[in-house]
Structure 1
Amino acid sequence: MDNESLLVKVRQMEHQFITHWINALSNESPGDANKEELFNRGQAYFRYITELHIPFDNHPVVLKAVDWARTVEKDEGTVKWIISFSHLWRNSLLEVGGDILSLGLFKQISARIDHFEIMMCHACWEKTVLWMKEKDCEFDRLHEDRINLIGKMASSMAHEIRNPLTSIIGFLKLVRLGIHQQTFEKVDSYLDIIEHECDNILKQVTGFLSFSKRPMIEEGLVYVSARQILDTNISLLSPRLIDENVDLLLAVPEQVKLRVQKSAIQQVLSNLLNNGIDALSALKSNKKMCISCSEDSGYIYIRVSNNGPSIPAEMAQRLFTPFVTNKEHGTGLGLAICKQIMAKNNGEISFTSDDSETAFLLTFPKKRKVTESGVQVVS
């Protein structure tokens, strides 16, 4: 019997071949797909391998399958599935049609199975190569972003530390001059300022490290006068306030106390005050800054305002985001660190800005105690 006649008999057994293939596939990959879907796939593939009069590359099953292989999103096991698919079809041909298949016809059908397998694997390989190239580009972008981030952090660190170091160097010169001139009464005050600036450097380093995965040991919470914190900051900023001709109004009662990380909150206020002075540099005269403190039943508020230019609308939405700044030599980390510090102190920082005033508001919750009767008391 010639191959054409044998091929007719094979086609007549289509259902038996497909059923055998489905059972084998179900045993190898339980739950792969429902039987109806598998039968439709098997029927399409069976027609491909038995319609020998249609060239390999022109058969609609091949074109559709290759297109699928190129567009599939998750193809980690696709190649393995393709090889298993081919093996199970050859096995079904031998098991079901072993008595009617001639060697020549089996070779022809097997060649179509091989061609399908090669085409599918090649399509998957192309997809994998493209995916790898895209990942390489993505890794390159991430690496470049990381290098840029390190550069910004280094620049920011240098900028934040340079100012207190400059102050330290200046006061060390005054100390040396005071020693030579026997004016020891001022040396002690100079040393206090030098010590404070060293603490300021430590705070800056702590702030930077707070963005890393290995933060420094957290500063403990203590009760401290809000006026005391502000007096310390203002004493250090006095030379700059005088040089910039800034009129500072301080309205902070002595009795208001905060339970906070003292050095960290000093850093927040120092940043807000320096930012305010920077903003006022745009004015030629009538430079005003105000620091006020108020409280209600649940919170204590410290408000730092200035009459400088308003914050641009495009910056306002991202003001507390790292590296967002409109200063020529700014780093964009100051307010981001302030927000993080306030969060660690269970507080909040917010702002308002218009043409007449820009104001930052620090909100600190009062400590609450529960009495024996279950009543909450603010302390």
Structure 2
Amino acid sequence: MKSSREKLIAFLEEHLSDFLTYWRKHMYIADNDKYIDRVEHNGLSVFQLVKKTLSRHLCLNDIQALAEKIAKERAEANINIGEFVYNTNLGRSLIIRYALKSGLSIEELQPLIDNINGLFDQFLFYAVTKYTELKNAEIQEKNSFISQSHKDRLTLLGQMSSSFVHEFRNPLTAIMGFVQLLKFEHPNLKYLDIIDHELQQLKFRISQFLHISRKEMEEREKEPIFLEQLFQETVSFLYPSFVDGDVDVSTTIDPKARVFAYKDQLKQVFMNILLNSIEAVKEKEKPRHIHIQALSRHEEVLIEISNNGPMIPPETVQAIFEPFFTTKKLGTGIGLYVCKKIIEDHGGQITCTSDERITSFFISLPHEKRNSLPV
């Protein structure tokens, strides 16, 4: 006499064609699925696992092997994992529905249905785990490619920058020298201050390229820097730009705030952020305001440079420190990247926040140690 397990297997095999037809008709599957011709075959393979689990001849390796094979096909076909889970559970519910029509009593069916559910739970676990693993590997590969592309572009930019700087810097230095001579010999000659300022700006832009064209820069020694004095020098240098943009600038700087750093590099960071801020506030009506704040707090110095320009969209805020990212028509996309690199090289951090009222750049730098000052 047949056991309840054998009776259920025979009943399911008898209705297999009806079961597959209904399953195929109601499942989710894209027309462009590259493995569309294997779907029914995979369904039959899962049914064979059901028969094995009912006849107690199934091992975990059989479940894992089939689950990972199908997961690999789903990942290669770039199919949403939700659709796969839905189709699998649709097959589960159909098998249980047919099992309930088999004529077996509830007492006989209950342990068999528990076996079927256990099989599908294990199958989905292995399949989803493998699918996730494959997709994560795919994302990692894409991220590595993007990262390498950035490195390649930076290398190319470095080669171009080095050539550009050598060709351009010598005549620029000569021009700046002759401007200084003219200022000395003709102190009242109009426009010399403007020419000198613009040449200094050009020199500053060139130095930006220098910071990413070499891994090691020939720098002066680090020195104790009082931020109040450094910001005074920076704001004075940019004074023509503030006037030109009709921008009010204010400062709240702790006189005790000082860091141990390369002065030229920090000045470059502050100039870059201030120039960007000036360009931002010029896009709105007056009043246009930029505020600089620096506080000495425990082991670090906190700097905030804020402006009341237009809001930067959240997706842009997340990307502004990436190399070559720019929203300007003629921008290079390296200014804020250089700022981030300089601050991080000094052991600090730089972030940006923006809303409809204010945009702020926050910089934290290690506080200068007392024993670094000359006695």
TM-score normalized by structure 1?
0.49
TM-score normalized by structure 2?
0.49
Considering only CA atoms, is the larger Rg found in Structure 1 or Structure 2?
1
